[in-house]
C-alpha cells in the first residue's frame, strides 16, 4: 500500500533548496540524492521537520523558517578570542577548526584575525538567519531501514 501523505514517524525523502533572506542559494540537493529523514524526529531543523508533515508525495512548497526553528539565535558567549599561534597553518576566515577544551572537542569557525589573536565562534554560521526552504517530497515510507522502503 502506497503512503501518499507524510505523517510524523514516516521516513521521507525530500529534495530541498535553502535560500538566505536575500534569496541567495545556500545549499541544494538538486544534483544529488534527496535528503532522507524521519518526519518529526528532530533529525533536521525544526522548521523543515514541521513543514513536511501533511505534504503529499510530489508536493512542492516554499516555507520561511525563523531562527528559533532553524539554527537558533547568535549567542555572543560562544564567540571568544584565542592566540593565533594555536591554529594550524593556512587557515582563513570562515574555516572550521576543532578546539579541544578539557576532554571535549568543539568545532568552531574562524570569525576574524586581529594581529596575534583570532576570534573563534561556536555559533552555527546560519545562527540568527531567517531562511527559506523550498521542499519537494519525492518519497514517503513507514519508519525502518531506508533500503527496504525506497530501494
Q: Which one, of 33, 38, 43, 30, lies nearest residue 12 by Cα?
A: 38
Residue 36 has pLDDT above 90, yes or no: yes
Look at the chain and count its residues.
151
The backbone torsions φ and ψ at residue 48, rounded to the nearest 5 degrees and listed phi first, read -75, -45
Shared-domain flag, residues 84 and 50: no
* pLDDT band of 29, cuts 50, 70, 90: very high
CATH code of the domain in which 58 resides:
3.10.50.40
- Predicted local distance difference test score (pLDDT) of residue 104: 85
Residue 140 DSSP SS3:
strand
In the chain, what percentage of residues exceed pLDDT 90? 66
Residue 151 has pLDDT above 60, yes or no: no
Residues 26, 65, single domain; the answer is yes
How confident is the prediction for the chain on average, in pLDDT? 88
Residue 65 has pLDDT above 50, yes or no: yes
Strands (E), 9-103: 11-19, 25-28, 35-38, 60-65, 79-83, 96-101
Are 35 and 103 members of one domain?
Answer: no
- CA–CA distances in Å: residue 28 to residues 25, 71, 85: 7, 17, 36
pLDDT in tens, 11-24: 999 999 999 988 99
Q: How many domains does the chain have?
A: 2
Q: Which domain holds residue 105?
A: 76-121
Between residues 131 and 80, the one the model is more confident about: 131
Given this model, what pLDDT does residue 147 score? 36
Q: Are residues 98 and 59 in the same domain?
A: no
Tally of CA atoms within 13 A in the half-sphere of 13 that contains its CB = 17
List pLDDT tens digits, range 96-148. 988 877 888 888 999 999 889 999 999 998 999 999 999 999 999 865 444 33
Look up the CATH number of the domain holding residue 83.
Answer: 2.40.10
Rounded-to-integer distance, Cα 20 and Cα 67, Å: 12
Query: What pTM was computed for the model?
Result: 0.77
What pLDDT score does 130 carry? Answer: 96
Amino acid at each position: 500500500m502506497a503512503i501518499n501523505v507524510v505523517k510524523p514517524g514516516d521516513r521521507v525523502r525530500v529534495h530541498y533548496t535553502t535560500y538566505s533572506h536575500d534569496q541567495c542559494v545556500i545549499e541544494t540537493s538538486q544534483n544529488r540524492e534527496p535528503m532522507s529523514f524521519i518526519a518529526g524526529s528532530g533529525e533536521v531543523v525544526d522548521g523543515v521537520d514541521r513543514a513536511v508533515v501533511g505534504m503529499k508525495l510530489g508536493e512542492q512548497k516554499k516555507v520561511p523558517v525563523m531562527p528559533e526553528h532553524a539554527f537558533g539565535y547568535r549567542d555572543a558567549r560562544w564567540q571568544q578570542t584565542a592566540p593565533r599561534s594555536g591554529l594550524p597553518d593556512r587557515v582563513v576566515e570562515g574555516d572550521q577548526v576543532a578546539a579541544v577544551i578539557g576532554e571535549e572537542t568543539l568545532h568552531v569557525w574562524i570569525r576574524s584575525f586581529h594581529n596575534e589573536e583570532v576570534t573563534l565562534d561556536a555559533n552555527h554560521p546560519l545562527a540568527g538567519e531567517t531562511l527559506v526552504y523550498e521542499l519537494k517530497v519525492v518519497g514517503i515510507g513507514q519508519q525502518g531501514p531506508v533500503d527496504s522502503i525506497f530501494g
